Structure 1
């Protein structure tokens, strides 16, 4: 699993002209899944994201996590995170998991993250054409890949 986690003041995802999910302060998480990913990867990633200390404390130091600020999360499926650009100029998405693997893991990750942060996680719709809007706060952007967790 690969993620791009952005600390945001607010974020939303719009599908067919209607806002499907929106949050205030918290994380916008773009999530890419490959065929070898497992529930253990989702568990690790949810725990790691919930514990990221990237929110300012009273002294302006990034020392607080999303739980301690009562933040929210918006998770958007993003198969293009698995792109390979080794050959030519057209990315290959062969490393992205198909729906049969990706949808259950996406839903599982969202559930585990919701449990970890103690707030409902907002989502897009898997496979939909989504318009994502955000105000990146900082900017703070963290990339993580479960293949690099050791």
Structure 2
């Protein structure tokens, strides 16, 4: 499972001109399930995300997590994180989970996030979304929890 985390001062997702998910200060997570991923990878990525210390403490050091700050978490599905460019300039997305499996794992991740953190907003799986954000810092961090039994294609 792949995540791209951005520390934001605000973020929102717009579908068909309507805001469907919005947070103030917190984390925007772009999330991609890969072939072979399961709930194990989702749980591990969520645990890492919620404990990721990228918010400033009293001394200005990145020493606090989104749980410490009570910030929001906006989770947006993005299969393009599984892009493979080894065959040329046009990306292949064969490493991404099939849509039904990707949706299932996305929904599972969101359900677990809601059980673990009080402020969760989402995008809409497989929709044409416009993601608006103010990256704070900027701080952008890739997260990857690999399934040890899967072999990524190159």
Q: In the TM superposition, what are the counterparts of 1:3-18 in structure 2 within 5 Å?
A: 3-18=3-18
State the match for 2:137 in structure 1.
138
Checking the alignment, whether the CA contact within 8 Å between 1:13 and 1:130 is kept in structure 2 is: yes
Structure 1 gap segments, 5+ residues each: none
Q: TM-score, normalised by structure 2?
A: 0.92
| Cα RMSD after superposing both structures | 1.3
Alpha-carbon distance, 1:115 to partner: 2.4
Q: Distance in 1 between matches of 2:128 and 2:77?
A: 11
How has the CA–CA distance of structure 1 residues 82 and 23 changed in structure 2, closer, same or farther, with 3 Å as cutoff?
same
1:67 aligns with 2:67: yes
Q: Distance in 1 between matches of 2:113 and 2:140?
A: 18
Q: Distance in 1 between matches of 2:41 and 2:146?
A: 9
State the match for 2:92 in structure 1.
92
How has the CA–CA distance of structure 1 residues 148 and 142 changed in structure 2, closer, same or farther, with 3 Å as cutoff?
farther
State the match for 2:118 in structure 1.
119
How has the CA–CA distance of structure 1 residues 148 and 95 changed in structure 2, closer, same or farther, with 3 Å as cutoff?
closer
SS of residue matched to 2:68: coil
Checking the alignment, whether the CA contact within 8 Å between 1:47 and 1:113 is kept in structure 2 is: no
Structure 1 stretches of at least 4 aligned residues deviating more than 3 Å after TM superposition: none
Structure 2 gap segments, 5+ residues each: 149-154
Q: Distance in 1 between matches of 2:29 and 2:115?
A: 16
Farther-moved stretch of structure 1 (120-129 vs 10-19)? 120-129
CA deviation string 1:13-52 (max 9, x = no partner): 0000000100001000000111200101000000100000
State the match for 1:48 in structure 2.
48
